[in-house]
Chain A
Amino acid sequence: MTISLPASTLSSRRAPLADPREQLARLEASTAGRASFQETLRATGWPDLTPASLEIFQINLGKLCNMTCRHCHVDAGPDRSDAMMARETVDACLRALDQTSAHTVDITGGAPELHPEFRYLVDAAHARGKHVIDRCNLSVLLLQRNAGLAEWLAEREVEIVASLPHYRQRSTDAQRGDGAFEKSIAALRLLNTVGYGHGNPRRVLSLMTNPAGAFLAAPQSSAESEWKTALHRDFGITFDRLLALNNMPISRFLEWLIESDNLDSYMSRLIDSFNPGAVSGVMCRNTLSVSWDGRLFDCDFNQMLDLDAETAVGAMTIETFDVDVWQKRSVVTRAHCFGCTAGAGSSCGGSTT
């Protein structure tokens, strides 16, 4: 439904939904009378959602972003310099990383490239031999202050996971704002020019698509070939892989669901599309998520809902991180988790089936 929501953060508007407790209350009300996520898991043979081996260290540097997308689950925006990771916390992340055998450091935000410690963190993770992922909104690469950043990332073999809702303009601009598609195309051309997206495993360009509305993500593998054909035909752009992600009913996407009267039907769609085969691959099982202020979460979505990870010693911080204690926890779940198990499954790495 076309509705006019302000292109600004919930936080700047002091909207009630800026409070994660309000978001959780709306989700709970919307799913009243349905089996909870935990009950649904138990009915399919998962008494508890327990960790697999820790593979991904996902560090959220903060909420500052040059864009204000309508679906943002982080409530990021240009006014969010209030939430930025301190250098000491970045160093604590690196010390914690050294306790683990995680092979990937996944850097997110906001637009992580706007953070003053971004290059420091990339260099430190790269020097440790980790696979580094930059979750990039594309337009940030075109900012004057980031001139040369694409080449810099290529030299460090950083994988770019770039958000692009659709390979055509209308749906992309509807979600990310007028002009976003054009800038995305310019940034993708820049990445192609510096060697990304041509099949070189040291210059991987992944695109992440999420639906521009209250429906599930497209099937990843068939969509990938359509996207490759269309982007090459229309713009001469190449990329390596497509990741399909369902929208999570939190933060600004939750606001849109409520305002467009889609919340109940979207939650029903997620619950009715529960796929037991998608559970084992959900990201909370192999990921540690660190917030800008050093708290630890099972995933970036729980982070935005203030659902701290629960370990035997309670909520842990990156300064007190203990990998053995971490691995013995159970994942904290709520109704939004149906977003990761709907259809083909959904995670920061795309489909889980």
Chain B
Amino acid sequence: MSDHYYAPEHLKAFGSIAEGAPELGKKFFEYYSAVFAPGALTEREKALIALAVAHTVQCPYCIDAYTTESLQKGADLEQMTEAVHVACAIRGGASLVHGMQMKEHAEKVGM
């Protein structure tokens, strides 16, 4: 057992999570593969979305995995950095837009 959280070797062994619930694991990984197959979006576009989401959910496994994957699908550092800024803008915007609730409430109870 690892003596720290977020052990890098966990990413490579991710498939073994299915051992506790094989049917659910099988369904999840099949679904996961289907999601990232080329469709209306290209594999590169999907990898960049995943990279941005990885930063939003702050998953170090996903950041490593989708940095490599974005590169392997043909993205470059500038495109990937812009994707992270999209995540950053939405996170920041999501906080700020809640300020509307603050503002409305303050206006209601204030003079």
Chain A residues close to B by CB (< 8 Å): 166, 168, 170-171, 209, 211-213, 215-219, 222-223, 226, 343
Contact = CB atoms under 8 A, between A and B. Distances in A.
A77 to B, nearest CB: 26
Contacts, number: 40
Interface in B35-93: 38, 42-44, 68, 71-74, 76-79
Contact of B71 (A168, A209, A213, A219): A213
Chain A contact residues, majority secondary structure: loop
A218 B77 contact: no
A215 B44 contact: no
A222 B76 contact: no
Contacts of B71: 211, 213, 215
B68 A171 contact: no
30 contacts: A168-B76, A168-B79, A170-B76, A170-B77, A170-B78, A171-B76, A171-B77, A209-B74, A211-B71, A211-B72, A212-B76, A215-B68, A215-B72, A216-B72, A217-B72, A218-B44, A218-B72, A219-B43, A219-B73, A219-B74, A222-B38, A222-B42, A222-B43, A223-B44, A223-B73, A223-B74, A226-B42, A226-B44, A226-B74, A343-B72
A219 B70 CA distance: 11
A213 B69 CA distance: 12
Contacts of A213: 71
B32 to A, nearest CB: 18
A211 B72 CA distance: 8
A259 to B, nearest CB: 19
A343 B72 CA distance: 10
Nearest to A268: B12
Given A170-B76, A211-B71, A217-B72, 9 more contacts: A166-B76, A218-B72, A218-B73, A219-B43, A219-B73, A222-B38, A222-B44, A223-B74, A226-B44
A122 to B, nearest CB: 32
A216 B47 CA distance: 14
Contacts of B72: 211, 215-218, 343
Contacts of A218: 44, 72-74
Contacts of B44: 218, 222-223, 226
A225 B44 CA distance: 12
B84 to A, nearest CB: 16
